[in-house]
Amino acid sequence: MAQHEEKCVTVAFTGDIMMGTTYPSVQLPPHEGRQLFVDATPILSRADMAAGNLEGTLCDGGDTHKKLSKVCYAFRTPTSFAPRLKEAGFDYLGMANNHARDFGEQGIRSTMSCLDHLGIKHSGIKGIGPECAIVSQNGKTYGFCSFGHNEYTLRHQDIASVRRIITFLVDRCDYVIVGFHGGAEGAKAARLPEGREMFCGEDRGSLRSFAHFCIDAGADVVFGHGPHVARAMELYKEHLIAYSLGNFCTPYGISLSGISGYAPLLEVKLDSAGRFSGGRIHSFLQVRGQGPRLDSKHRAAQEVRRLTQLDFPQGHLQISDEGVLRRK
């Protein structure tokens, strides 16, 4: 058993991160967000790799092209908040989402510059940033790529590009991890449908098919975000797919009521071949203005278990009351 454990690596995953915004009004946590990740840092930092989705921009100026409404937002987090991401333990952050371009190309480049300065890898923006990222740690190489549904992102609907990027990483890395931003949004979107999802007139992806395609192409883990709520998980050909990890650190600007405030932090163990070898959903509950706080009632894990039982009733994943993940 000890020999088997030595061959495993641990990767931690979160959903959306938007630490606060200065647009259209200032909504920022105190002390430049130094307490936002206080409960999550021990888990993120002990993992061999930690990844999440950076929802919005890291920039200090500019204006947005968006027409803001009850369903359209623009997020501008000050660059002074960027070090919180490194301090929390993140190694990679996906940028392929519908808020990365909230402040145009200037906002994208500012965000990339902040992450580069911190040594946090990123990808997902078409034609500007890297198509993928490779991170080395303790003699292992981890390949990351991210896909979204917007025209300025690397799109999960562009299957030829998805295959090309994953193949590039498979040829160079010990482990390949795919992130995606997709699906409808809101508390009514917690169930994972079959086929294509539409939201606000946009094609938000056929996510079951996409995730399976990624595993078939050589990915070891696929993790999603976008609906702002957690969704089901699936074991597919011995590899884990998390269809949405919801919101993780969004203290302002995004609804935190009910299940929208559930913030799962996923820890996955992978064997030497990249197959699922166990894991845990750590349950956090978001507090407005404070960020994610550990939830002793394990509500996020129990919500993911409920959805997994509904959407994959014949599935091979077992989730305990406390969020421990095992094969059935």
Question: What pLDDT shows up at residue 71?
Answer: 73
Is 126:76 a contact under the CB 8 Å cutoff? no
Residue 277 in this model has a pLDDT that exceeds 70: yes
Give one word for 79, left, alpha or beta, with left for phi > 0 and alpha for psi -120 to 50: alpha
How much is the average pLDDT of 26-45? 98
Residue with tokens 């509904």: 310
pLDDT tens track for 36-74: 999 999 999 999 999 999 999 999 999 898 877 777 889
Residue with tokens 């650190």: 249
pLDDT tens track for 108-123: 999 999 999 999 999 9
Question: What pLDDT shows up at residue 66?
Answer: 80
Give CA separation, 258 vs 97, 186, 187, 239, 242, in Å: 23, 11, 8, 30, 20
Q: At what angle do helices 207-217 and 159-170 cross, to 10 degrees?
A: 30
Weakest-pLDDT range from 71-75, 92-96, 198-202: 71-75
Task: Supply the mean pLDDT for the chain.
Answer: 95
Is 126:138 a contact under the CB 8 Å cutoff? no
Q: How far is residue 294's CA from residue 282's CA, in Å, rounded to a whole number?
A: 8
How much is the average pLDDT of 122-129? 96
Half-sphere exposure of 166 (CA within 13 A, CB side): 27
Residue 282 in this model has a pLDDT that exceeds 60: yes
Does 201 or 249 have the greater pLDDT score? 249
Weakest-pLDDT range from 61-70, 85-94, 213-222: 61-70
Listing DSSP states for 44-95 in one string gives HHHSSEEEEEE-SEE-S----SS--BTTB---EE-GGGTHHHHHHT-SEEE-
Strand partners, 115: none
> What token pair was written down for 66?
């968006």
Q: Which of 241, 220, 218, 238 is nearest to 167 (CA)?
A: 218
Q: How far is residue 232's CA from residue 239's CA, in Å, rounded to a whole number?
A: 14
How much is the average pLDDT of 8-33? 97
Q: How far is residue 295's CA from residue 298's CA, in Å, rounded to a whole number?
A: 6
How much is the average pLDDT of 293-315? 98
Question: What pLDDT shows up at residue 68?
Answer: 76
Type and span of the H or E element at 286: strand 276-287
Work out the pLDDT band at 200, boundaries 50, 70, 90: confident
What 8-state DSSP symbol labels residue 154?
P
Work out the pLDDT band at 181, boundaries 50, 70, 90: very high
> What token pair was written down for 284?
């956090």
Amino acid at site 132: C
Give one word for 123, left, alpha or beta, with left for phi > 0 and alpha for psi -120 to 50: beta
Q: How far is residue 138's CA from residue 310's CA, in Å, rounded to a whole number?
A: 39
Residue 1 in this model has a pLDDT that exceeds 70: no
Q: Which of 254, 240, 264, 51 is nearest to 142 (CA)?
A: 51
Residue 3 in this model has a pLDDT that exceeds 50: no
Strand bridging mode 262-270 / 324-327: unpaired
Is 109:128 a contact under the CB 8 Å cutoff? yes
Is 124:178 a contact under the CB 8 Å cutoff? no
> What token pair was written down for 40?
């999550």
Q: Which of 311, 254, 317 is nearest to 281 (CA)?
A: 317
Work out the pLDDT band at 201, boundaries 50, 70, 90: confident
How much is the average pLDDT of 2-13? 74
Backbone angles phi, psi at 105, to 5 degrees: -65, -30
Work out the pLDDT band at 6, boundaries 50, 70, 90: low
